[in-house]
């Protein structure tokens, strides 16, 4: 039995401790945002956050996660009330096929929680491990910049520059 905290809720999971987190999220907890892409930690479609850091859930065994905070794209907001990252991706129409988008959002969220004013260069470098085969990279980058502005505004750090990026 493994105790996991996912999106603020505690769960007792009956899985082999070596089971990758991705399978527990999808099969046991019915959280389908993280996607199976390569199974090797090379594409990023399975990205979630663990203690605020982006990780590939397809290669992270659940035995390493007891006592740690796991956040999936479902933990960022709801359909009725999307979080800043989700709202920015909607507003920028950043998805084409959408398969990579939850992983993109989670990797970007990890960066912007630490640095909502990240530069274009910082965003590009941080996002490099996640792949998008549809080629919506420019819209994804615009969405991340917008999300950073929205996060700064929500934190009370509204400036003219922040407002321009968010709106």
The predicted-structure confidence for 28-72, as pLDDT tens digits, reads as follows 999 999 999 999 999 999 999 999 999 999 999 999 999 999 999
Contact of 46 with 103, CB cutoff 8 Å:
yes
Q: What does the pLDDT look like over 117-143, one tens digit per residue?
A: 999 999 999 999 999 999 899 999 999
CATH 3.10.20.30-classified regions of the chain: 2-75
Confidence band for 164, pLDDT divided at 50, 70 and 90: very low
Retrieve residue 156's tokens: 């009370």
Question: Residues 65-88: what's their mean pLDDT?
Answer: 97
pLDDT > 80? residue 165: no
SS3 content of the chain, % helix, strand, coil (to 5): 45, 15, 45
143: nearest Cα among 34, 43, 155, 98: 98
Q: Which CATH code of 1.10.3720.10, 3.40.190.10, 3.30.420.10, 1.10.150.120 fits the domain covering 84-166?
A: 1.10.150.120
Query: What mean pLDDT value characterizes the chain?
Result: 93
Where are the domain boundaries for CATH 1.10.150.120 in the chain?
Answer: 84-166
In this structure, CATH architecture of domain 2-75: Roll (3.10)
- What's phi and psi for 87, nearest 5 deg? -60, -45
């Amino acid at each position: 039995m493994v105790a996991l905290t996912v999106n603020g809720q505690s769960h007792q999971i009956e899985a082999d401790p070596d089971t990758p987190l991705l399978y527990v999220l999808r099969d046991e907890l019915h959280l389908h945002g993280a996607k199976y892409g390569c199974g090797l930690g090379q594409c990023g479609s399975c990205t979630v956050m663990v203690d605020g850091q982006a990780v590939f859930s397809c290669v992270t065994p659940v035995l390493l996660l007891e006592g740690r905070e796991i956040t999936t794209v479902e933990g960022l907001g709801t359909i009725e009330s999307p979080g800043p990252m989700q709202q920015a991706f909607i507003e920028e129409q950043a998805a084409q096929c959408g398969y990579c988008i939850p992983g993109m959002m989670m990797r970007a969220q990890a960066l912007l929680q630490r640095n909502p004013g990240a530069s274009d260069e910082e965003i590009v470098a941080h996002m490099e491990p996640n792949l998008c085969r549809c080629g919506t990279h420019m819209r994804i980058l615009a969405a991340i910049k917008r999300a950073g502005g929205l996060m700064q505004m929500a934190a009370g750090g509204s400036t003219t520059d922040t407002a321009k990026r968010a709106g």
